[in-house]
């Protein structure tokens, strides 16, 4: 029989929607929560080792809803503060093919250090390498294989044949689309259809930067020129003549199993569309700030009932992969959300999107044996 173990702390948030438990404890057994609650009750008769974490707040393990682990090796080698086109230009000066294992291991260590137990990782070139590293670190969640480009319209043959994957990768894979400006609409629709068939969430970058809006409306702009020059956007590509969210909606990409990532460039009509479809939005505030594309209107999205998640994005546009640092960027801003609100964005909301509410999002019995410690009293007080 495997040895049980327990943690004890001054305050434990077992469920983000319920009051924290003072002097709480959680007992883990065989990789799951066995019991949680007031230490006096939970630890009564418990003979295993108890790790006393002291005067801290413990939360359920976090879920990073958008990260690109395969870009970990470009950390520090992109241009920030000058908009999306300048950032892409700088990104493309890096080799995006060869992912260094050392960089990947460091990135995973940052994820673990922030008490993150699951990720939605966007992958295209090094899926097997990332999958192995996540498995070794016992980090769950999705490997969202991202389809990109206008060639092979509608075919999901690049970069991997999802239906031919075997083993653990098959269980955690999903199709993802890169973006409206970079990927054939039939390919995006095929990726979404694959997710629907397999009961997995579909994610794509959407309404991230002003040039995306301009390209959809007019087919023009600095970024569209870059895409044409790079041979990504066909010369004869015709813009849909509407805003990105409206186009995604027209393509049938938005529903309650879609995670739209970024959603910075929204107007009230876009927000109403996202809400009407039940789509979730993943906020990546530090990435948006780094690239200088604006701020997502999280208040309006939240008020409209759009479920929000939080992601660090990759080290290609962020200093680190700590979700707490991501949360702090919102919590410390004037008029920012409340602590428990953001905690839901890092736990309950992405857990529901993953269809894994029993495993993630709380420290109730049956949940995975992972937890997070709020790193800074200022964050908890916000």
Residues found near Zn ion in the complex (CB under 5 A): 313
Instruction: Give the CA distances from residue 24 to residues 32, 49, 229, 357, 381, in Å, rounded to whole numbers and listed in that order.
Output: 17, 15, 59, 22, 19
Report in angstroms how near the CB of residue 122 gets to Zn ion at its nearest: 6
Report in angstroms how near the CB of residue 286 gets to Zn ion at its nearest: 12
Cα separation of 200 and 142, whole Å?
9
Question: Which two three-digit tokens encode residue 101?
Answer: 């294992």
- Residue 339 has phi, psi (to 5 degrees) of -55, -50
Q: Which is nearer to Zn ion, 315 or 328 (CB)?
A: 315
Cα separation of 374 and 328, whole Å?
11
Report in angstroms how near the CB of residue 19 gets to Zn ion at its nearest: 35
Contact 26, 35 (CB under 8 A): yes
Report in angstroms how near the CB of residue 261 gets to Zn ion at its nearest: 6
Q: Which is nearer to Zn ion, 36 or 312 (CB)?
A: 312
**50 — alpha (psi -120 to 50), left (phi > 0) or beta?**
beta
Report in angstroms how near the CB of residue 120 gets to Zn ion at its nearest: 10
Question: Which two three-digit tokens encode residue 260?
Answer: 């739209």
Q: Which is nearer to Zn ion, 94 or 357 (CB)?
A: 94
Residue nearest to Zn ion (CB): 313
Cα separation of 160 and 145, whole Å?
8
Contact 148, 227 (CB under 8 A): no
Question: Which two three-digit tokens encode residue 191?
Answer: 């990726």
Report in angstroms how near the CB of residue 313 gets to Zn ion at its nearest: 5
Q: Which is nearer to Zn ion, 58 or 260 (CB)?
A: 260
Q: Which is nearer to Zn ion, 121 or 313 (CB)?
A: 313
Q: Which is nearer to Zn ion, 148 or 340 (CB)?
A: 148
């Amino acid at each position: 029989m495997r040895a049980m173990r327990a943690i004890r702390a001054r305050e434990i948030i077992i469920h983000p929607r319920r009051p924290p438990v003072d002097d709480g404890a959680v007992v883990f057994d065989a990789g799951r929560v066995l019991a949680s609650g007031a230490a006096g009750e939970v630890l009564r008769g418990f003979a295993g080792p108890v790790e006393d974490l002291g005067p801290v707040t413990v939360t359920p393990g976090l879920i990073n809803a958008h990260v690109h682990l395969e870009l970990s090796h470009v950390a520090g080698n992109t241009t920030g503060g000058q908009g999306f086109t300048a950032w892409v230009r700088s990104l493309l000066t890096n080799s995006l093919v060869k992912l260094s294992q050392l960089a990947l291991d460091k990135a995973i260590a940052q994820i673990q250090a922030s008490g993150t137990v699951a990720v939605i990782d966007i992958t295209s070139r090094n899926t097997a390498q990332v999958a192995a590293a996540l498995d070794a670190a016992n980090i769950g969640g999705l490997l969202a294989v991202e389809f990109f480009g206008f060639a092979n319209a509608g075919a999901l043959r690049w970069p991997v044949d999802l239906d031919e994957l075997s083993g653990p990768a098959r269980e955690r894979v999903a199709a993802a689309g890169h973006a409206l400006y970079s990927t054939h609409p039939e390919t995006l629709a095929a990726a979404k259809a694959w997710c629907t068939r397999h009961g997995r969430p579909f994610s794509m970058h959407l309404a991230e930067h002003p040039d995306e809006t301009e390209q959809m409306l007019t087919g023009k702009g600095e970024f569209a020129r870059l895409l044409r020059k790079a041979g990504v956007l066909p010369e004869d590509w015709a813009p849909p003549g509407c805003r990105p969210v409206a186009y995604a909606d027209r393509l049938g990409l938005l529903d309650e199993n879609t995670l739209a990532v970024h959603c910075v460039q929204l107007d009230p009509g876009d927000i109403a569309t996202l809400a009407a479809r039940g789509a979730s939005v993943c906020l990546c505030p530090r990435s948006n700030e780094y690239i200088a594309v604006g701020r997502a209107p999280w208040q309006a999205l939240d008020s409209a009932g759009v479920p929000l998640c939080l992601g660090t994005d990759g080290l290609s546009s962020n200093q680190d992969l700590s979700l707490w640092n991501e949360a702090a960027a919102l919590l410390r801003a004037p008029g920012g959300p409340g602590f428990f609100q953001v905690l839901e964005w890092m736990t309950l909301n992405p857990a529901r999107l993953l269809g894994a509410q029993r495993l993630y999002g709380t420290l109730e019995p049956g949940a995975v044996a992972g937890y997070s410690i709020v790193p800074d009293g200022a964050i908890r007080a916000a």
